[in-house]
């Protein structure tokens, strides 16, 4: 929850469904940047707030993490993303080739109007520094449009199924030789869309993805005709104004089934899987280690371990790690200590990232990075997974899985497509 009364004027508005409000913006706002953070499962989990931020005032579009350290001390709130390759600035890692859609490593925006939707209280608050901008947003109305079908007309990947299986086998061999314990090997899919290139069309993709694969950290970022469409279920970091930091890594996946008995069997199998628990525990230890670098001694603890949550297309296993940030560390110090999310790297972290970079060859870009908001005393960032990136008629998305010595190559490949199911259904790719 944002408390911006010392930075903005505020006004309580009549409650509206945030998805409907965002749809009105997509219909009327044009190509100026705006961001929607949507808690699509707010009634089931603890993140019960959604946010819409619009009318940009300042932007940080940069390749260098150090540029955000100073500006987050100015009592402003910045919405946007951090890309995975920022990790190359913190450690000596192999450089990778540009992605299919190349975006800046950092894109953060300070907005004039922020709308905060409290789902549990059905309360809508507007924070603003320009009354005219707020009134403009409130006058937007839904436009009736006949939306043509949007789907893929080209579809490619940086791995074939065969080469992906071969790389998994090679990673298992490296693990057996004692090089590391686990790495997250990802696969990028990319191609072309049949789309009319209007903001409302990309938002319609987001709306459909929220129905196909609802998630607690969904996000729609419209950034100068670049569109990030995310249905992430995973929290990277949240830090409150008392310095309490939490991370909720996901590691462990099983598919949902239309057959109720089989679905419950899959869920129970995930909950009791020795392999999946071992994968999850490795990442929990990694996150504990990351947080211990910036938290007070003795405060880092595991609040939840091996929780299984059911989403529309998959069951996921997650754990929660928390701590109290030392007073001499800024919010950006905490982000740097934990970035990128351990669930997207492997363990030990640096070696796992090195192996993945050499195998994948391409920048992950926004995928595996973080989306949300950053302030001097508040942070809320999701892990960028289940995310489609669009520019004009180009698209890309990426999925991955944790490879350990016990991994079954064919099951890992199957897991890739289970995780991609929502976006592949969205793009009519099967």
Which among 373, 68, 43 has a CA at the least distance from the CA of 219? 373
**Quick one: pLDDT at residue 223?**
98
Least confident of 100-104, 261-265, 307-311, 323-327: 307-311
Annotated catalytic residue, options 105, 172, 251, 359: 251
Query: Which CATH number fits the domain that encloses residue 251?
Result: 3.60.120.10
Is there a catalytic annotation at residue 234? yes
Mean pLDDT of 59-88: 89
Asked whether residue 326 is domain-assigned, the answer is yes
Taking a C-beta distance cutoff of 8 angstroms, is the pair 246, 301 a contact?
no
Q: What is the pLDDT of residues 360-402, one digit of tens each?
A: 999 999 999 999 999 878 899 999 999 999 999 999 999 999 9
Quick check: is 145 in a domain?
Answer: no
Is-contact 345 174, C-beta < 8 A? no
Q: Domain for residue 144, yes or no?
A: no
pLDDT score of 46: 62
409-426 and 161-176 helices cross at what angle (nearest 10)? 140
CA 429 to chain CA centroid, Å, is 22
Active-site residue (options: 234, 279, 360, 415): 234
In a domain, 1, yes or no: no
Q: Provide the residue range defining the domain that includes 231.
A: 9-138+150-426
| Residue that is written with structure tokens 């504990």 in the block | 288
Residue 287 belongs to some domain of the structure? yes
For residue 413, give the 3-state DSSP assignment.
helix
Q: Is residue 145 annotated as part of the catalytic site, yes or no? A: no
**pLDDT tens by residue, 74-119:** 778 999 999 999 999 998 999 999 999 999 999 999 999 999 999 9
Q: Give the pTM.
A: 0.95
CA atoms within 13 A on the CB side of 62: 16
Residue 362 lies in a domain: yes
What distance in Å separates the CA atoms of residue 80 and residue 380, rounded to the nearest whole number? 11
The number of distinct structural domains making up the chain is: 1
Is residue 353 domain-resident?
Answer: yes
Would you say residue 380 lies in a domain?
Answer: yes
């Amino acid at each position: 929850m944002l408390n911006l009364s010392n930075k903005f004027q505020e006004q309580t508005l009549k409650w509206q469904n945030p998805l409907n409000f965002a749809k009105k913006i997509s219909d009327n706002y044009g190509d100026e940047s705006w961001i929607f953070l949507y808690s699509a499962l707010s009634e089931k989990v603890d993140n019960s707030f959604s946010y819409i931020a619009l009318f940009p005032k300042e932007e940080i579009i940069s390749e260098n993490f150090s540029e955000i350290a100073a500006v987050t001390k100015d009592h402003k709130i910045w919405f946007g993303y951090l890309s995975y390759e920022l990790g190359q600035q913190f450690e000596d890692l192999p450089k990778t080739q540009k992605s299919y859609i190349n975006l800046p490593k950092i894109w953060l925006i300070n907005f004039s109007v922020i709308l905060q939707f409290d789902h549990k209280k059905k309360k809508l608050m507007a924070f603003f520094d320009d009354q005219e901008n707020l009134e403009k947003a409130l006058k937007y109305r839904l436009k009736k449009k006949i939306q043509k079908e949007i789907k893929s007309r080209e579809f490619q990947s940086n791995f074939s199924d065969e080469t992906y299986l071969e790389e998994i086998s090679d990673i298992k061999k490296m693990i057996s030789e004692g090089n590391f314990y686990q790495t997250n090997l990802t696969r990028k899919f990319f191609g072309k869309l049949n789309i009319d290139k209007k903001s409302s069309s990309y938002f319609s993709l987001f709306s459909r993805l929220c129905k196909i694969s609802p998630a607690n950290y969904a996000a729609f970022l419209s950034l100068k005709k670049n569109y990030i469409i995310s249905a992430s279920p995973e929290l990277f970091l949240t830090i409150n104004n008392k310095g309490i930091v939490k991370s909720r890594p996901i590691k462990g996946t099983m598919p949902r089934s239309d057959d109720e008995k089989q679905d419950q069997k899959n869920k129970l199998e995930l909950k009791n899987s020795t392999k999946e628990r071992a994968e999850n525990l490795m990442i929990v230890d990694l996150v504990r280690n990351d947080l211990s670098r910036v938290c007070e001694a003795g405060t880092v603890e595991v609040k939840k371990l091996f929780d299984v949550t059911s989403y529309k297309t998959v069951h996921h296993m997650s754990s929660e790690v928390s701590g109290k940030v030392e007073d001499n560390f800024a919010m950006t110090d905490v982000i740097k200590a934990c970035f990128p999310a351990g669930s997207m790297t492997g363990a030990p972290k640096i070696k796992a990232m090195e192996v993945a970079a050499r195998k994948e060859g391409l920048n992950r870009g926004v995928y595996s990075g973080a989306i949300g908001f950053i302030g001097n005393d508040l942070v809320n960032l999701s892990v960028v997974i289940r995310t489609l990136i669009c520019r004009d008629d180009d698209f890309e998305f990426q999925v991955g899985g944790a490879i350990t010595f016990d991994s079954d190559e064919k099951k890992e490949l199957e897991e890739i497509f289970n995780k991609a199911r929502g976006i592949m259904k969205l793009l009519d790719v099967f």
